[in-house]
Each structure stands twice: as C-alpha cells, then as structure tokens.
Amino acid sequence: MFHRSTALAALALTFFSLDTVRATPTQTQIQACSQSISLDNYQDTVTYSTSDSTAHNQSYSYSVSACTTPGVKVTSIYTQDLDSNTIYTCTLKQFDTTGTLFTTCSITNGAIATTAQSSGDQDWGDFLKVGQKPTFYTIENDYTVDYYTAPTASAASRKRRALQDEPGLEARSDLSPRINCPAGFSSCWTGVRDQFECINTSSDVESCGACPRSSDAQDCTSIAGSNEVQCFASMCKVISCDSYHTLSADGTSCEPNGRHKKRSIYATRF
Ligand SMILES: *[C@@H]1O[C@H](CO)[C@@H](O)[C@H](O)[C@H]1NC(C)=O
Ligand SMILES: *[C@@H]1O[C@H](CO)[C@@H](O)[C@H](O)[C@H]1NC(C)=O
C-alpha cells in the first residue's frame, strides 16, 4: 500500500516537472486557441481572373495569449478543391506574438479560377489545423469560386475545356490520377484513393526530401527528442531538442542526455 502510493506520487511529480518544462497545452487550451482563430477578410464567394498569377493566400487572426502560452502547434495549412478533393498545401507557419498568421499556398488564384471554369469545381475551402495528439481542431472556411477570363488566357482555356467536354475522356482522371503541380512542387499521393496533393518536398517538414510514403521521405517531426525542426534543402534540420536530449554535432538528431527515461513515461500517456 505504502509502496504503491509512493510510486503514484513519483509519477505525478514526473508529469508535473515535464509539463513545467515542456509547457504542453491541455485539450482545453488547444480548444480555446482554436476558438480564437478567424480567417481575415473572409468572403463566401470570391471572383478570380483565370490569368491571376498571385498565389492564393490565407491570413488568420488569433488570440496571442490563448495560442502562444503555452504554444499551440499549427500542424497543417492548405486550400482544398472540395469537388475533386485535391489539396494544395500552404507554407506552414506557427503562432507568434503578432496575432496574425499569413501564409501563401501552392496554387495561384488563376489556377483556382481555371479549375472552376474547366471542371466546374467551384467549391473550395481554406483549412488550418492545430493541436497535438490526441487533440486536433480544424478551422475550415469554405468559399465558392466565380471566374472570369482575361482575353489573353482564353485560347488555352477553351482548348482545355474542349478536351474535358469530349465524351469518353471523363475516366481520364482514373487512368492518370496525378495532378499537375506548379514548378518546384511534387504531386504526392495522399494515401486516399485518387487524392493527390502538391508538396514542396525541399521544405515540407513532414515530407522532407520526397513524397510521404516513399522510402526517401523523412518526417522531421518524428525525430526522437526534438523540439523544433525544419526541412531545409530536402534535409531535416533540428533546431532544438527537449530537455532530455542534446543536439547532435551535425544538427540532425537529438541524443539522450541521461534524463530520457522520464520521457518514455510521458509517452505512455497517449
Ligand atoms: C492575398 O490575397 C488577396 C486576395 O486574392 C489579395 O488581394 C492580396 O493582395 C494578397 N496578399 C498578398 C500579400 O499577396
Ligand atoms: C520550396 O521551398 C524552398 C525552401 O523554403 C524555397 O526556396 C522554394 O522557393 C520553394 N519552392 C517553391 C516553388 O515555392
């Protein structure tokens, strides 16, 4: 009896000290942060020119205190064609003291307009996901796309539409499901049938170096003992390690510094 309560007290102490060090947000704190987030200048219907070459962007406002103390992690930001389910990732950013998170996405407004025109895919959504295992929240803002064609772009667009309208070509997406991505992006299978996304594998932390599920891809966020990681020039780079690990000399891993046993107890909570 005495032995058992000692063990419990030791465990509680371990959790307490870890929470103090790592400042892990609770489920309630993650929820409070997510509820403070709003997409700036949200419009449920947007009108883009098919020749608009500006990158689609998203700007969010959030409560600095709710989202940064302790830090709530942004896990992904993307815009999605809700008709074809194609995902276009946006640069992953984290909350800071400015209260504004601005990101540009891997598709231009012109390409969104062109898709609406050629495939009739007018239903799109801007997504931001926050949290950490086991608590995640998704902020979704759907928008309808109206398009107009500038004279210079119309010839190419008409040609594309003519091809797509031709009977018998409808099954084409099943035969070659890869999507066309802008230069510098790889077309990666999402793991769900027929769904591809455009990923910049030279800088994507979760698909560093290659598409996810390929043997060359590295998920930098899974580096044991790491606190902050980056994918830089297709290679994972560890910026900092947790307090039970020390950054290796080459900056690619975190080495246990003798206190790592506590961390394995912490991991069993999930
Ligand atoms: C973000 O997108 C909006 C709507 O397309 C555009 O008006 C604005 O100029 C863009 N901002 C930046 C900084 O690119
Ligand atoms: C991909 O990411 C790298 C590193 O951040 C950046 O230099 C490059 O411009 C990105 N490519 C595109 C097409 O945005």
Angle between helices 109-119 and 154-165 (to 10 degrees): 40
Query: What is the reported pLDDT for 264?
Result: 33
Model confidence pLDDT, tens digit, residues 33-53? 999 999 999 988 999 999 999
Q: CA dist 67 to 115, 136, 171, 190, Å?
A: 35, 13, 45, 28
Q: CA dist 37 to 68, 143, 245, Å?
A: 12, 17, 33
Of the ligands numbered here, which is closest to the C-alpha atom of 92?
Answer: 2
Q: Cα–Cα distance between 102 and 54 in angstroms, integer?
A: 14
Q: Cα–Cα distance between 120 and 111 in angstroms, integer?
A: 13
Query: What is the reported pLDDT for 197?
Result: 84
Model confidence pLDDT, tens digit, residues 160-181? 333 333 333 333 333 345 677 8
Distance 168 CA to ligand 2 centre (A): 38
- pLDDT for residue 235 is more than 50: yes
Q: What angle do CA 55, 187, 122 make, to 5 degrees?
A: 50
Distance 193 CA to ligand 2 centre (A): 27
Query: What is the reported pLDDT for 127?
Result: 94
Q: If you take atom 3 of ligand 1, which residue's CA is the nearest one?
A: 57
- CB distance 184 to ligand 2 below 6 Å: yes
- CB distance 109 to ligand 1 below 6 Å: yes
- The number of the ligand 2 atom at minimal distance from the alpha carbon of 233 is 4
- CB distance 57 to ligand 1 below 6 Å: yes
Of the ligands numbered here, which is closest to the C-alpha atom of 48?
Answer: 1
Model confidence pLDDT, tens digit, residues 106-153? 999 999 999 999 888 899 999 999 998 878 888 999 999 999 885 533
**Which of the listed ranges 182-186, 218-222, 250-254 does the model predict with the highest average pLDDT?**
250-254
Taking the CB of residue 110, how many other CB atoms lie within 10 A of it? 20
State the span(s) of the chain assigned CATH 2.60.40.10: 2-174
- CB distance 58 to ligand 1 below 6 Å: no
- pLDDT for residue 23 is more than 80: no
Query: What is the reported pLDDT for 89?
Result: 94
Distance 111 CA to ligand 2 centre (A): 19
Q: Cα–Cα distance between 99 and 68 in angstroms, integer?
A: 10
- The number of the ligand 2 atom at minimal distance from the alpha carbon of 185 is 13
Ligand 1 pocket: which of 49, 54, 101 to mutate (most atoms within 8 A of CB): 54
Find out whether 87 and 125 touch, Cβ atoms under 8 Å.
Answer: no
The CATH H-level (homologous superfamily) assignment of domain 2-174 is Immunoglobulins (2.60.40.10)
